[in-house]
């Protein structure tokens, strides 16, 4: 069937035709018949997208791909890539206690779609005790495969993976994210006694529909991700959460998450998306699509601390989630990991190579992360790893006595080891203390009992709850808050909900390297209670996004195919107008070394008091003048709109890539805050 150059491609053809509720697989077969010779066309068609948008996945060679690209109606043809998963106390930390005002009747009508690695349906977080019947609006199905049952909590299940023909979660990631967003209250949940308390999701009364696109090893195919969006939109979910991404963003028409979430936005569905664990640095988010709600990981007041007691009695602190009791036993430390390494720029000190005879049965010191894996393969029974301070904020679950240390403490342990004939150390079992951490760090939530809590195949422990960190854990927090806001404002658009959450966020101060801190944490920490009452919102319609795509450079034909209607571009495309998308944050791109005078237009909608007056306040930036006109907005009715212009004037900024200010509109009760970022264009 295939020659060596054939591979799996996604063919994207835009929205469904106006008035159509689905598309025919036969239509996709007929398109393939025009580029493929022979009788194996049906074998080449891998998946049709036909319920919420138009496209298909097929096995093609380069010539067939080029033919398809030249056909009328085809917007893009791109390879199906492997994407990756972005891997209790958090809700209380966010000011979102169990006692917060909520309407459980409305919440129980909301359906959260979770695109991930599946779910463990028997987990206590997903019991349906006290739930009423499935909402009448629901159009989904329970097709979780053999030995998988739904209930009135998990009301939908589908799987797309070819290797694992079940919606059951074998890796634990999907179960963790689903319970963080929507899990029931479970008392006395913990990981071996750590982080003990009541585990719960943001909207415990909501329903869940799960779409398994990732295998147990964390890989997720583009074709399956698009298939999940196609079904979830048509099934009728209210909010989508997807903690999957790649190390870099790609063009919209080649990004399955951007494509799927655009069509979700068309139907009023907000998609929360993990921004990725590859930053913060410029261009490190997984997707740039503005209709997505991109989520970074920020902090809660909990941290897991380990102690190591050396043979000389001195104690030093590190981080890990180590549940293995030491029982007072001192373990020998390997003085040398190997005599030398045979590879350039690799040394035994960083665990780049190992001599099994030197490390077997001992603790190993590794000068940088990652080397401990090689140490364990060669028989080491534990590790102490040097981690830069910037990376030492998170603790990880370990299967062996181990901990991460900052360079200062690591140097003391190293010095003791090198100056002692028989160095030994005892790594204590984990303790906890109040500190500052994140809704993406050290998050306890439900887990698959058949998955290793550490990801190590040799770790055979089975747990009901696990502690994990990353933007994967932050994303479902935002999805839960979005669902909470939607329960109060069911008619708000995805953009209005997103604006409410962004403009009421609690500020986080500081910068990250030479960038504005907002590139690391966005608008700040989510503030669920205030997000329900934002005062003003920056709304964005589908037509606004279409005009943005026009300014991005897409031609009129592509615009009509993407939108599925008679949407058209207003004037010639102009990439400088991208800044005028009615977004809750304002980014001003400037050329290095040149003076600038930039105007940005915004419109706000009154969702607070009927009669209200808002005044603008700007936090000043040195050598840059920011003004707002008008600087007072007076409203006389709900849903009234008012526009304003922000003018930014100055000269080239210093050595920083970007600097930030903020614009706050306040009526004395509501404080509607937007980041203002001046960024050097590359």
Q: Cα–Cα–Cα angle for 220, 224, 226, nearest 5°?
A: 115
**Which DSSP symbol is given to 578?**
G
Q: At what angle do helices 222-235 and 256-266 cross, to 10 degrees?
A: 10
d(CA 351, CA 373): 9
Q: H or E segment at 31?
A: helix 25-33
Q: H or E segment at 327?
A: none
CA 559 to chain centroid, in Å, comes to 28
Of 155, 153, 125, nearest to 137 by C-alpha is 155
Our answer to whether residue 681 is catalytic in this structure is no
Distances (CA, A) of 175 to 87, 201, 246, 300, 436: 13, 12, 21, 21, 26
Residue 471, SS3?
A: helix
d(CA 260, CA 52): 9
The first and second tokens of residue 606, run together, are: 């009154």
DSSP-assigned states of every residue in 39-91: S-HHHHEEEEE-SSS-EEEEEE-HHHHHHHHTSTT--EEEE-PEEEE---HHH
Residue 681 burial (CB count, 10 A): 8
Residue 110 burial (CB count, 10 A): 21
Q: Where are the beta strands (DSSP E) in 200-314?
A: 207-212, 219-221, 239-242, 244-245, 270-274, 292-295, 303-310
CB 77 within 8 A of CB 31: no
Bridge partners of 240, per DSSP, are 113, 271
Our answer to whether residue 173 is catalytic in this structure is yes
**Which DSSP symbol is given to 654?**
-
Burial bucket for residue 553 (CB in 10 Å: 0-12, 13-18, 19+): exposed
d(CA 533, CA 536): 9
Distances (CA, A) of 639 to 311, 443, 578: 69, 38, 25
- List 116, 169, 224, 230, catalytic entry: 116
Sorted by sequence, the CB contacts under 8 Å of residue 444 that are 6+ apart come out as 88, 89, 189, 190, 191, 194, 195, 197, 199, 465, 466, 467
- List 28, 84, 173, 263, catalytic entry: 173
Residue 217 burial (CB count, 10 A): 14
Our answer to whether residue 472 is catalytic in this structure is yes
- List 90, 472, 523, 661, catalytic entry: 472
The first and second tokens of residue 610, run together, are: 């009927």
CB 104 within 8 A of CB 239: no
* Residue labelled with tokens 């993990």: 274
List the catalytic residues.
116, 173, 472
């Amino acid at each position: 069937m295939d020659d060596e150059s054939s591979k799996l491609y996604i063919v994207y053809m835009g929205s469904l035709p106006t008035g159509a509720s689905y598309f025919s697989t036969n239509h996709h077969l007929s398109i393939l018949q025009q580029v493929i010779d022979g009788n194996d066309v049906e074998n080449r068609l891998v998946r049709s997208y036909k319920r919420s948008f138009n496209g298909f996945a097929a096995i093609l060679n380069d010539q067939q791909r080029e033919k398809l690209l030249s056909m009328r109606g085809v917007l893009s043809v791109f390879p199906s890539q492997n994407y990756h998963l972005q891997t209790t106390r958090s809700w209380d930390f966010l000011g979102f206690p169990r006692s917060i005002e909520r309407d459980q009747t409305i919440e129980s009508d909301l359906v959260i779609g979770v695109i991930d690695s599946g779910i463990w349906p028997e987990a206590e977080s997903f019991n349906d005790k006290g739930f009423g019947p499935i909402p009448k609006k629901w159009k989904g199905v329970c097709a979780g495969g053999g030995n998988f049952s739904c209930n009135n909590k998990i009301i939908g299940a589908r799987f797309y993976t070819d290797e694992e023909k079940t919606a059951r979660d074998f890796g634990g990631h999907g179960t963790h994210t689903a319970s963080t967003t929507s899990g029931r209250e479970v008392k006395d949940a913990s990981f071996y006694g750590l982080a003990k308390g009541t585990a719960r999701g943001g909207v415990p009364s909501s329903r869940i529909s799960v779409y398994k696109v990732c295998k147990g090893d964390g890989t997720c195919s583009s074709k399956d991700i698009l298939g999940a969006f196609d079904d979830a939109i048509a099934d009728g979910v209210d909010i989508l959460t997807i903690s999957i991404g790649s190390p870099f963003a790609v063009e919209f028409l080649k990004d399955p998450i951007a494509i799927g979430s655009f069509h979700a936005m068309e139907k009023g569905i907000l998609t929360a998306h993990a921004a990725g664990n590859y930053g913060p640095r410029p261009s490190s988010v997984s997707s740039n699509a503005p209709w997505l709600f991109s989520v970074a990981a920020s902090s809660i007041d909990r941290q897991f601390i380990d102690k190591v007691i050396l043979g000389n009695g001195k104690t030093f602190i590190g981080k890990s989630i180590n549940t293995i009791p030491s029982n007072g036993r001192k373990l020998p430390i390997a003085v040398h990991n190997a005599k030398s390494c045979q590879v350039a720029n690799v040394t035994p000190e960083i665990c780049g190579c190992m001599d099994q005879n030197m490390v077997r049965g001992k603790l190993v010191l590794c000068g940088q992360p990652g080397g401990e894996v090689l140490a364990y393969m060669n028989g080491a029974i534990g590790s102490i790893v040097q981690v830069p301070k910037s990376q030492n904020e998170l603790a990880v679950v370990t299967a062996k006595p181990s901990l991460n240390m900052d360079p200062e403490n690591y140097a003391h342990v190293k010095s003791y080891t090198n100056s002692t004939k028989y160095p030994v150390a005892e790594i204590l079992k984990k303790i906890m203390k109040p500190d500052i951490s994140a809704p993406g760090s050290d998050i306890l939530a439900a887990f698959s009992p058949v998955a290793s809590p550490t990801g190590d195949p040799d770790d055979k422990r089975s747990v009901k709850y696990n502690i994990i960190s990353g933007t994967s854990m932050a994303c479902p927090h935002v999805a839960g808050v979005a669902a909470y806001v939607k329960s109060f404002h069911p008619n708000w658009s995805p953009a209005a909900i997103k604006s409410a959450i962004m403009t009421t966020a609690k500020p986080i101060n500081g910068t990250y390297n030479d960038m504005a801190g907002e590139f690391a944490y966005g608008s700040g920490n989510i503030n669920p209670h205030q997000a329900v009452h934002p005062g003003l919102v920056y709304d964005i319609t589908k037509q606004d996004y279409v005009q943005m795509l026009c300014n991005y450079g897409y031609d009129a034909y592509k615009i009509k195919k993407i939108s599925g209607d008679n949407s058209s571009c207003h004037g010639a495309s102009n990439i400088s107008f991208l800044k005028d998308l009615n977004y809750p944050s304002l980014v001003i791109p400037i050329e290095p070394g040149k003076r600038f005078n930039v105007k940005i237009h915004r419109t706000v909608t009154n969702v607070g008091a009927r009669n209200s007056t808002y005044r603008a306040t700007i936090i000043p930036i040195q050598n840059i003048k920011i003004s707002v006109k008008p600087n007072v907005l007076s409203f006389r009715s709900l849903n009234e709109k008012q526009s304003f212009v922000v003018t930014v004037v100055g000269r080239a900024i210093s050595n920083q890539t970007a600097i930030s200010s903020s614009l706050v509109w306040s009526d004395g009760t509501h404080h509607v805050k937007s980041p203002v970022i001046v960024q050097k264009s590359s």
